Amino acid sequence: MELQSSPKVRKKTKKAVLPFVNSLIILDSCVKPESKMTAIEKMIISKSGVTKKDLVGLKEKSSLDYDKLAKTLSVTRATLINKKPTEKFNASLSERIIGLAEIYSYGFEVFENKEQFNAWINSPNKALAGKSPYDLLDSQFGREEVMSIIGRIEYGVYS
């Protein structure tokens, strides 16, 4: 699909993409923020594999070190570190990386500031019985709950 055929489309596309630049986490594998991707798009990326370079991008934007990433992704630290930048992770780990990137992408979008979101995700939350949202990111159910709370914040519901 070629968008350059019409100047109007190209202009609209640039305007639509620019607000999301700060919420794009995995730069090499994605053309739009993970929070705006369809399930099919995320499946395609996870099956082809996320590169170590993409993981480093997530690490930098999320302010998580390799120990925290390893805990959250349920793998060893060595699994994350011992890859070359262009090497890809397996589909299962890539899926978890994309899920984590989706949370950060959505959070950056809602909070409009990565520093504020990173502070929020590591702070105790009454809606989570005093746990921080980060503490729940190591399971699919926890990630879903964190996404739900971010959604409630987006719509102004007490969370």
Residue spans of the domains in the chain: they are 16-154
For residue range 14-66, what is the model confidence (pLDDT) as tens digits? 334 444 445 667 655 567 788 888 899 989 999 999 999 999 999 999 999 99
Tokens of 36: 């705006």
Q: What is the dihedral of CA 74, 79, 85, 90, to 10 degrees?
A: -70
Looking at 1-159, list the stretches that DSSP marks H as alpha helix, in order from N- to C-terminal side. 7-17, 39-48, 52-62, 66-73, 77-81, 91-111, 114-121, 140-154
* pLDDT score at 25: 72
pLDDT confidence bin for 137, thresholds 50/70/90:
very high
For residue range 9-19, what is the model confidence (pLDDT) as tens digits? 333 333 344 44
Q: What is the pTM of this model?
A: 0.80
| Residue 38 burial class via C-beta count within 10 angstroms: exposed 0-12, middle 13-18, buried 19 and up | exposed
